[in-house]
Structure 1
């Protein structure tokens, strides 16, 4: 056997805890710290009459550690060593070591902040940085500083940097065990696996069965990959005596125990496991590890308020932990399903869960502890402010927090239930309404993965289908729902019965299944969804986000649903679990959260202002009616908003109004004291210049009554109206007597376009803007086509005219083309009138 050097450093550990009251123990996997350290410390003088509480990050590890310590003492669990995990307790009057997990320590502290009767709290596998471990340590340290200066704290880890933890514990001593493991040969693939990982895993397992000795531990991301790999292995011929054993958190306990237990003589086992077997759990006989390099991690999005599991690449620390499992009992082999050069590129450590988790449970625990600001406690990593604020907003919505931020009596009852605050609120409201049994069933269903398997096509989303399956199993009848995972359904039923026992629910209450939507709405009030018009299956959620069901899903046509599980991706999250809810139930039970709002708003579809009065629940309009007494000023403002959205081009512009706009724009270009009347400037100041003229109007069609030219002139005042005609006239009278309009579309070069014959005798180029700007003359042929452009008419007559005359005379011989244009009579005709 490999040496277990934790025994060598035990004296240092005893001394550190006796003198400093806290310590950090760093020891690698296989050093036996999880079981040997608590047992070695049990008889310390400072622990006389008190017990040890050890926190494990997983239920399976907690039970296994307790059993191993009990066997070491030649006792049964529940004697000197016991455990408390969610829904299961094995402790007795003589228990001195309690292995706890999943918030049990937090509940112990909430019930007894001084932890009377506890002399030592051990945080095992702290490098996993679970949310419960971080919270438990923060509360324990405050209890120790305020109430129990004699309480000892020991943090144990295999890979965590001990210095920050030691500093958090008040510069506690770090006791390090280097550890000795059997050598492990690491074998890599030449290239990354493309596509599905399971075929590569199955091939590698078969190779290991042929070329290596001992049991094989395979790391896969989740239960789905485990089952697919199991199918591939069983589909081929396996050597005689080889057993395939899955291992994951939701597996029934007997199956978990079978995977952990030593192989029978003459047989070998292949354990297909999630990262649950990475640390704090010993699987006897393993000499080969096959690492897929993948793991499942929860990701919480403050943007959507939802947590989803994502498949991610393992960290370097995790890969080393997994590899070490092959060297516990003898020299081993680790197969890594990635190339060797990729190992160095792995992220060194994972992200602490507190930085990337749903903080609603933590916020509720802190409120029950009497802390509103996490900064009052000591953290290795404090909770992110944004996620924590969002968590408190949810708690307030669930009635757990009062307006001043303190915990309410309802919130304290929620904190007393080992459920997520959403489900705790649902269970308590269900009890109040006489729907306790249904609430317990839903709490159990929503605490586990879906009991209906997801094959090529996702199952129907309706939670009532799962409830009926649960009730059929409870009654001993045939479960008729398709693709049922019977093992998971049995676990859910056992948990539902346990919740009924804890809450004191009597009877089956099977007739209330249709009330599921209301209860789920209590848990997920932010995910009450209203069907959008148009394509079936599209919903608007109360929180303003979109959600979608497959059009073929029976709930796709429901007016209202509550989404219990979504993927949180894209503009419309895909809904996996939901239940229909009646609008009347929503209005009755959420009345305090419904706002009555009178809104005068622009309706783009109708191109009109619609004064409406609505009952709003978040982003949902539950009821709406027309308003006949809306404020005229609000109507005018809404109409202006509509005009802004449509653009000022929606106004009844005439040709003259546009020319007037261009004339004023020309003067503004050359003298900024003139108003800016460009479309963009007008749109930005609609209320100033247009507001007084739209009172009494509600539709875009009403605007035809406006005279835009007069409104623009009204922006100038009388003095500038006169100046406008002088400096930017609309027309110029040319020698032929015609009034020719000026084109101001280019404010830098206004254009006068006139037939050449009409300008005979005009010696100088007309100028505007007080003589500062010459007009650009477009000289036109009799057919109104440009033949010359000039700003110097006198020069044209002297030089350019004669070449133009020659060309025009050939094309228009009947027209008048004099030799001297300055002395000739201008005409708008073919030739001047005789005379």
Structure 2
């Protein structure tokens, strides 16, 4: 071990006993997984221990954390521990806030800033170690950072060390990914936490339920209380529910969430003279130590983004947290003293929780990650060594989107794509800014992108929501940033954040793209054209004039809120769309931009004559269609299509209603198919065609050739066609081994009834016609008995059997007794074995 005694820790922490082992491990292996409980001190002690060795004297140590507040907090704490000025030896770099320089040895970064670092220094030549803290959170950017770092280590910088740290991960898979590296498990400084559950589920709104138990526990203890809620709206609702009570109790109510201004976030993590109740999202789940917290109230819920592949949009869903998250949250109550954790769910529900939440890479849009990789120089995305790769569907969707944004061509970034990669925003918004810049309105384009990426600076009426025309709002925002309005719906904090983002983006554009060209269009039109450039697949066309329902390029249904007077054109762009619940057919449009058809790029406008099936007439007709990408802009009746086109369109319509189109329920056809199915099961060696739905669909183009309507299709000699798919031997065997009729002892030929849902064909025959028949008739080379429905004189089944001999021997006597009473004029011989079968019922002899 190489350790200096330059500095001494201020306070002994559980992780300190492991620091020698951690350093020694890195002298013999370039990677390490550290699993250590919440509160053990790993976030602040491990980087310092590494810095004080001789291993990294000429290189930096980077620690990647999931959130800005965690980065600032960790860097501040390490600077205090080492008695150094923040920003010199130890610093941080987060969005809009940088406290570090070229000489800084330890830099704590968010994932986004680390990606920028990798783009500037793709080989990490000045970095000795990269630490991934809170790895269990598994955001898409974290997975991307981790995989890129591993690739650098394997292919370009073999001296680079990687450390993965978390309180709740299973190290085995990560160790394998890192070349069978060692893992170290530590102990925490966790004080005992009393865990409580609800006795039963309570049917109350979340904010009411949370407020109820917050007040209850506040009277039970004097500690600060940390409440975990899924989203900002839940926090604000709970805050409103508790406000009056908290004021009378002298308690500070403090919200904590990612979009909260920095000064308000600091108020939460800085000790206060008054008692506090902190209402937080999962931002407070890890990395932060909030002194004074002795009680945690956990809603058990969180917000997660999920890609809805059906709508092609991300859906923000409220989900149950995992067991791992529940443990993390519980740990907040026991960091500095014994505590209480109240879980607002039952112990039964707790046993149903998943062990870990699915990684974000498996549930969100991956386009931004792919753009990062292409900008980094990656050319074969399919072979990129992900820790866990995205799905094939996600990969194809991301590549399709990059092509539509004109960022990618033949697995190489276009010049426009390289410019887009310079901006720390999504590829869509980067495309918007690039188009606005090209059209001479860079500053307004940056404000537009910033507004789309953030919440609205205007409060909305919740009982009458409407779809906002985003360009109209941005132009209003431009005026209000110069002269703030004196009205209650203005949110100055949000507006300031939007302005800050826009200003930073504008500076980046000026530095990397150069000065703004002369304006080509008025600002309003330029911004709407810019939105089209970033959201080409979100172009929508109303289903009817003035309808609030529309269909997008990809054929997905969307709907505007009613009324939405600002969005009044036939075409519009869906800027912010939430797919809503899975039960909703159409996605809701919150932000839109009006669109003129003349703005659509001509290279994506196509005119074609096609064959379509007209539901009303049941015929294939020709249509002339003009479309943008896959969105139909205009269509009218065209010339009669070719036979091939007609066959394709008719076949496509027929597959959706196969039974009706082919009349598969027609008696002769249905019986023939059932007979084939019977032999296919009983005599598999004959290899009859399946004649199932899949096979029939595959033959539809052939069946439909030369036809134009369902009426013609229904006259098609389907049975002859199906027989043509069988060999001569199969057809002969069908007649012999699956006959349509069976001759019984009376001389009658009785029809066999076949049914694909039944194992045996049915022979419905009067009992008297089977006298003298000892055994059940068989088909299929004797392998299959028929199911006999033994009929009384009224032609209703008296007995059903596949074992005629057993019927005569065991049941006939009782049946005969009953039938003699009901039908006394009919002959019912005592001995059915030798009695003469009767084709027609004979009168009993006197």
User: In structure 2, which of residues 288, 291, 295 is the aligned counterpart of residue 288 of structure 1?
Assistant: 295
User: In structure 2, which of residues 549, 555, 560 is the aligned counterpart of residue 544 of structure 1?
Assistant: 555
Residue in structure 1 matched with residue 629 of structure 2 by the alignment: 618
1:324 aligns with 2:338: no
Q: Does the Cα contact within 8 Å between 2:436 and 2:526 map onto a contact in 1? A: no
- Secondary structure of the equivalent of 1:103? helix
Distance 1:624 1:667 in 2: 44
User: In structure 1, which of residues 488, 511, 527 is the aligned counterpart of residue 538 of structure 2?
Assistant: 527
1:158 aligns with 2:167: yes
Residue in structure 1 matched with residue 492 of structure 2 by the alignment: 486
Say which is worse superposed, 97-106 or 117-126, in terms of deviation. Answer: 97-106
Q: Does the Cα contact within 8 Å between 1:453 and 1:459 map onto a contact in 2? A: no
Distance 1:551 1:99 in 2: 47
Structure 2 vs 1, CA of residues 412 and 506 (structure 1 numbering), >3 Å: closer, same or farther? closer
The root-mean-square deviation of aligned C-alpha atoms, in Å, is 4.0
Residue in structure 2 matched with residue 567 of structure 1 by the alignment: 578
Q: Does the Cα contact within 8 Å between 1:536 and 1:551 map onto a contact in 2? A: no
Deviation of the 1:425 alpha carbon: 1.7
1:335 aligns with 2:347: no
User: In structure 1, which of residues 214, 222, 230 is the aligned counterpart of residue 223 of structure 2?
Assistant: 214
Distance 2:362 2:506 in 1: 34
Residue in structure 2 matched with residue 717 of structure 1 by the alignment: none
Structure 2 vs 1, CA of residues 463 and 13 (structure 1 numbering), >3 Å: closer, same or farther? same
User: In structure 2, which of residues 432, 435, 438 is the aligned counterpart of residue 429 of structure 1?
Assistant: 435
Distance 1:465 1:637 in 2: 49
Deviation of the 1:615 alpha carbon: 2.4
Residue in structure 2 matched with residue 314 of structure 1 by the alignment: 321
- Secondary structure of the equivalent of 1:98? strand
Q: TM-score, normalised by structure 1?
A: 0.75
Q: Does the Cα contact within 8 Å between 1:539 and 1:547 map onto a contact in 2? A: yes
Distance 2:257 2:343 in 1: 20
User: In structure 1, which of residues 434, 441, 447 is the aligned counterpart of residue 447 of structure 2?
Assistant: 441
Q: Does the Cα contact within 8 Å between 1:69 and 1:81 map onto a contact in 2? A: yes
Deviation of the 1:533 alpha carbon: 1.4
Q: Does the Cα contact within 8 Å between 2:111 and 2:145 map onto a contact in 1? A: no
Deviation of the 1:622 alpha carbon: 2.5
1:26 aligns with 2:35: yes
Q: Which runs of 5+ in 1 are unaligned?
A: 652-660, 671-679, 714-745, 749-788, 790-835
Deviation of the 1:644 alpha carbon: 6.7
Deviation of the 1:665 alpha carbon: 13
Q: TM-score, normalised by structure 2?
A: 0.74
Q: Deviations over 1:689-738 (max 9, x none)?
A: 9977x8xxx9999x9xxxx999x99xxxxxxxxxxxxxxxxxxxxxxxxx
Residue in structure 2 matched with residue 757 of structure 1 by the alignment: none
Deviation of the 1:60 alpha carbon: 1.5
Residue in structure 2 matched with residue 344 of structure 1 by the alignment: 351
- Secondary structure of the equivalent of 1:613? strand
Q: After superposition, where does 1:229-308 map in structure 2 within 5 Å? A: 229-236=238-245, 238=247, 240-264=249-273, 267-308=274-315
1:413 aligns with 2:422: no
Deviation of the 1:57 alpha carbon: 0.8
Distance 1:327 1:665 in 2: 71
Distance 1:296 1:649 in 2: 45
Distance 2:631 2:238 in 1: 45
Deviation of the 1:128 alpha carbon: 1.0
Residue in structure 1 matched with residue 399 of structure 2 by the alignment: 392
Q: After superposition, where does 1:610-759 map in structure 2 within 5 Å? A: 610-624=621-635, 627=638, 633=643
Deviation of the 1:424 alpha carbon: 1.4
1:73 aligns with 2:82: yes
Higher Cα radius of gyration: 1
Say which is worse superposed, 445-454 or 384-393, in terms of deviation. Answer: 445-454
Q: Does the Cα contact within 8 Å between 2:193 and 2:339 map onto a contact in 1? A: yes
Residue in structure 2 matched with residue 39 of structure 1 by the alignment: 48
Q: Does the Cα contact within 8 Å between 2:302 and 2:320 map onto a contact in 1? A: yes
Q: Deviations over 1:506-535 (max 9, x none)?
A: 799995134433222222211100111166
Distance 2:334 2:671 in 1: 86
Distance 2:22 2:658 in 1: 80
Q: Does the Cα contact within 8 Å between 2:439 and 2:517 map onto a contact in 1? A: no
Residue in structure 1 matched with residue 508 of structure 2 by the alignment: 502
Distance 2:529 2:225 in 1: 48
Distance 2:197 2:673 in 1: 75
Structure 2 vs 1, CA of residues 609 and 19 (structure 1 numbering), >3 Å: closer, same or farther? closer
